[in-house]
Chain A
Amino acid sequence: MSDASARLPKYAIRYADRMREGFAVRALLILFALAFLAVFLFLPLMSIFAEAFKRGGDAYLAAFDDPHAMAAIRLTLIVAAIAVPFNVITGIAAAWAIAKFDFKGKNLLTSLIDLPFSVSPVIAGLIYVLLFGAQGYFGAWLKAHNVEIIFAVPGIVLATVFVTFPFVARELIPHLQALGKDDEEAALTLGASGWRTFFTITLPNVKWSLLYGVLLCNARAMGEFGAVSVVSGRIRGLTTTIPTQIEILYNEYNGVAAFALASLLAALALVTLVLKTFLEWRYADAIAASRHS
């Protein structure tokens, strides 16, 4: 733009100036934004790794040499391994029903699916305690039948499923809607079964937005803190996930161990961001429909 304006007559330059901010203003705005991001985004991120390695690599590694830390990592993986596939299946079902069919109450159903995003994580934990806790509505019955949900793994899974419920459906619905139904109708007309149509037409069409949804769902499932901390009771080695173990270590002033575990989740977040950026860049068209909805 600046090269072009150099060759323009004077009156045109005056209009060109009105179309954009001067160099000083631009530089100042960019500097303001970068300073804000540095203070609120980049410094916190850097501090995680700085604190984790504060006492050197050996102290960092020693943090993982703890059976409680390993148990927390194992539990986090187990919970994600249950919650994510569960939400992938229900997310695909929800997207199929909402994107491919017209029925009354569709908008209400879509809003209800998004509901967990607007609810505080603490409330996500609270509702299961009220249902299944010792004094909850089903507490006595569960105790009589020796079923443990609250302060046990099933409660953690339930709370994680709740908070990650919308992710997959949210990415798939706009994409499936944008694609329409023509491909599936053609396949069915040619004699393919419903399942075959789904697996050979629909699923490959939306695989990138599905992956995108799974990525975000997984990051949240592994990192959920509020809901899990309410339902888990934070019993060391038994019901602590990585985030709740971080809290325990931090409150015991074991900063290096807390930040070492935190660095794992921060690395996961960075990998998620890189993959997400890559997916957006590589499959921009496929994802464009869902990205900003």
Chain B
Amino acid sequence: MSLVAQLESSRAPWRKPNILPGFALAFGLTLTVLCLIVLIPLAALVLKAASAGPADILAIAASPRTLAALRLSFGAAFIAAIVNTVFGLLIAWILVRYRFPGRRLIDAAVDLPFALPTAVAGIALAAIYAPNGWIGAIAEAHGFKIAYTPTGVLVALIFIGLPFVVRSVQPVLEESQIDIEEAGALLGASRLRTIFRVILPTIAPALLTGFVLAFARAIGEYGSVIFIAGNIPMISEIAPLLIVIRLEQFDYAGAAVVGMLMLLASFALIFLINLLQAWSRKRLGDV
């Protein structure tokens, strides 16, 4: 393509002029694949759910089993995200600020829940937390069950959400200015006061972002949960499993409505993450 032709083709008003070629091809391919693989199929879900009609949608959404599944998925995801926020911050802190043997190994291992397939994580967690498992046996001896109860759901969701908070907070801690903490110390602030007045405000946006990411991931999680949950309707049945059950009963509308509710939650959380990141950029400059 000649330079003139390129300049000519770049005259489209919605795009800034650029001498690099290939925009039409790259953009066209991306948009085509995005539409075919992601957008049209998601639209089909919305269409299917909507075609059930308002009365049926309400009946499905407000049925006790749907509500119980959604409550478990959202509730357990919320608690798991809180646990992950506390321990994620702790792990990020010791990885960035302390030197101890095995630190690099730990740093690499934090990503394990990203790399390990969910079904593998699921059966491994079920094996450990089952009443005859390594940890399950100890819990059983003290009179409580972990696997095959809602607590088991929580354990699986803590596992898969672990990396999000660590990986959100770690870079901010690495780049945070020690001299500001030094200034606080020199001005007479105690260590605790420095932590609450200097460090926590700095990492707050990253911490919140990590929390929301872990929460969003945990809501939709399926593979790692179903093996340890026991899947008792109304008690330890998560929303994604309810979708699978409805599909197996060929109740497409039922599956679509529950799917639609979860999709709406995902969109709301994406919007929230974007707001948080905008806040973080405003606060810390472009990191």
User: Could you tell me which A residues sit within 8 Å of B by CB distance?
Assistant: 15, 17-21, 26, 29-30, 32-34, 36-37, 39-45, 47-48, 51, 89-90, 92-94, 96-98, 100-105, 109, 111-116, 118-123, 126-131, 133, 135-137, 158, 161-162, 165, 181, 184-185, 188, 194, 197-198, 216, 219, 222-226, 229-230, 242-244, 246-247, 250, 255, 258-259, 262, 265-266, 269-270, 272-274, 276-277, 291-292
B120 to chain A, nearest CB (A): 4
**B30→A126 contact, CB < 8 A:** no
CA–CA, A143 and B254, complex, Å: 23
**A29→B29 contact, CB < 8 A:** no
**B118→A194 contact, CB < 8 A:** no
CA–CA, A122 and B68, complex, Å: 18
**B244→A230 contact, CB < 8 A:** yes
**A246→B220 contact, CB < 8 A:** no
Q: Which of A17, A37, A162 meets B91, CB within 8 Å?
A: A37
Contact with A along B115-159 (1 / 0, CB 8 A): 111111111110110000111000000000000000000010011
**A247→B112 contact, CB < 8 A:** no
B260 to chain A, nearest CB (A): 9
With an 8 Å Cβ cutoff, the count of chain B residues facing the other chain is: 101
CA–CA, A242 and B240, complex, Å: 21
Q: Which of B118, B162, B262 meets A223, CB within 8 Å?
A: B118
CA–CA, A121 and B94, complex, Å: 33
Which residues of chain B (22-70) have a CB below 8 Å from chain A?
Answer: 22-23, 25-27, 29-31, 33-34, 37-42, 44-45, 47-48
**Contacts A41-B162, A131-B44; A103 near B14 (Cβ below 8 A):** yes
B18 at the interface (CB under 8 A from A): yes
B89 to chain A, nearest CB (A): 10
**A41→B159 contact, CB < 8 A:** yes
**B94→A29 contact, CB < 8 A:** yes
What residues on A are CB-neighbors of B241 within 8 Å?
A: 122
**A224→B117 contact, CB < 8 A:** yes
**A120→B124 contact, CB < 8 A:** no
CA–CA, A292 and B118, complex, Å: 22
A122 to chain B, nearest CB (A): 4
**A29→B220 contact, CB < 8 A:** no
- Besides A94-B34, A126-B255, 15 other CB < 8 A contacts? A20-B191, A34-B106, A42-B109, A89-B29, A104-B15, A118-B266, A122-B259, A136-B44, A222-B117, A225-B222, A250-B123, A255-B127, A259-B127, A269-B116, A273-B112
**B120→A129 contact, CB < 8 A:** no
The 4 A-B pairs at the shortest CB distance, nearest first, are namely A120-B220, A223-B117, A194-B21, A127-B41
B11 to chain A, nearest CB (A): 13
B168 to chain A, nearest CB (A): 8
**Contacts A123-B263, A127-B45, A188-B20; A219 near B250 (Cβ below 8 A):** no
